[in-house]
Each structure stands twice: as C-alpha cells, then as structure tokens.
Amino acid sequence: MISTQDLNTLVDEIVTELRKKTTVEIEASARHIHLDRPTIDALFGKGYELTPKKPLSQPGQYVSEERLNIVGPNGKLDNVAILGPARGDSQVELSLTDALTLGLKAPLRESGHLDNTPGVTLECNGKSVDISDGVIIAQRHVHMTPEDATLFGVKNGEIVQVKVDGSRGLIFDNVVIRVSKNYSTRMHVDFDEANACGLTKGMRGAIYKK
C-alpha cells in the first residue's frame, strides 16, 4: 500500500515534470554589448580576442572579462558587459530605463535587426569608438530547440504570450519564438521586464499561442 504522503509526493513530482514540458525557464538579460571585429580592434588593439569569463545558457556564448562604458547624449552607463564571441555587427542591448538614462530613443527590435537604430559612444581605457547604429531594446523572446518547438507546437518567428505566476504574476504579450538547433530553450527578458514580474532564478513561464 502506498501512503497518502508518498502519493502526494509522487503527484508533486509528476506535476513538476509535466510543467517542465509546458513552461520555459526565464532568464533576465542584463544590458550588454556585442562587438564586431573592427570595433574590437579599435578599442583593444588589432586582432585582440575577448577573454571568456563565464559561459551563457546559449551554447558558445560567453560574458567576457572586458567591459565598456556607454556614453549617450544625456548620460553614461559604466562597466557594461561585453558578450562574446565577435559578431558581424556591433549591437548594444538596453532596457527602456537604460535608454532613458543615456538620453537615447532606442527602438524595440529583434536581435540583428539594426536598420534605423541610433548609435552611441563606447569607451574604455581612454579609447573610444562611435558606433553609427546598433542600439536596441531587445524584443522579449524565447530561444528554442527544434525539438521543443515541436513539443510546444510553435514555429520560428511566431508571436506568443507567456504567463508568469507568483505575487507579481503577469502575462508577457508579443514574445517572439526563435528556433535553432544552436539554442538551448530559454526565455529572455530585460531587467525592466524581470523586475515587473519579480523574476527569481529558475522561474518559468507558460506559453500560450495567440
């Protein structure tokens, strides 16, 4: 005979496992910078390689030891993380609060969609580079493996809602699904969004198709 207590534990475990199949882990993405090769060369010297400090959840991506200050028309953000490796285009991802601090009107964009975005000044160790564009507020998104996309019944580019439980529970609308075999499944929100839902480590959100 199974005791009521054991049964309850078993049910809890089953519910936890099932919930993992209908929810995604949410990570807060702090303000950060991606650099192209010419900007790395200009700031750190020709052929310089960024130094990996800590791997990120997305395979091959890392936070580097190097950091930069971002200088905008009305303000400055010091010691901003650079994420490696180098990319085809430099890109600065801010929260709306950060953009207001700098005095920039940054548009909401998917990563890599940089046409008609403002530029900014990047500086460190007395050197500075003006990038002509690339400042965005990243559209909230879910990185997803093809296997999980099948499981959730969603496609690359699909817009969904994600519901977060808890005392500041809310529904994130306009969340874009991004599918690639190079991803691990995680939702990314910026710090404004993370604070809005009282995000803590390991929190998960449920995906709702629109």
Closest contact distance (angstroms) between CB of 58 and Zn ion is: 7
Q: CA-to-CA distance for 88 and 35, rounded, in angstroms?
A: 8
Closest contact distance (angstroms) between CB of 67 and Zn ion is: 20
**Does residue 32 bind Zn ion (CB under 5 A)?**
no
Residue 144: other Cβ atoms inside 10 A: 26
CA geometry: angle at 29 spanning 123 and 208, to 5°? 150
Residue 48, token pair as written in the block: 């310089």
Residue whose beta carbon is closest to Zn ion: 188
Cβ proximity to Zn ion, 42 vs 143, nearer residue: 143
Cβ proximity to Zn ion, 34 vs 40, nearer residue: 34
**Does residue 31 bind Zn ion (CB under 5 A)?**
no
Cβ proximity to Zn ion, 43 vs 95, nearer residue: 95
Of 56, 75, 76, 157, nearest to 124 (Cα)? 76
**Does residue 188 bind Zn ion (CB under 5 A)?**
yes
Concatenated DSSP letters of 86-153: EESS-EEEE-HHHHHHHT--PPEE-TT--TT---EEEEETTEEEEESS-EEEEPPEEEE-HHHHHHHT
Total binding residues toward Zn ion, as defined by CB under 5 A: 1
Of 86, 82, 80, nearest to 49 (Cα)? 86
> Which stretch, 89-97, 125-133, 150-158, 182-190, contacts Zn ion (CB under 5 A)?
182-190
- From residue 132 to residue 171, the character string flagging contacts with Zn ion as x (rule: CB under 5 A) and all else as - is ----------------------------------------
Cβ proximity to Zn ion, 129 vs 187, nearer residue: 187
Cβ proximity to Zn ion, 8 vs 57, nearer residue: 57
Contacts with Zn ion, residue ranges (CB under 5 A): 188
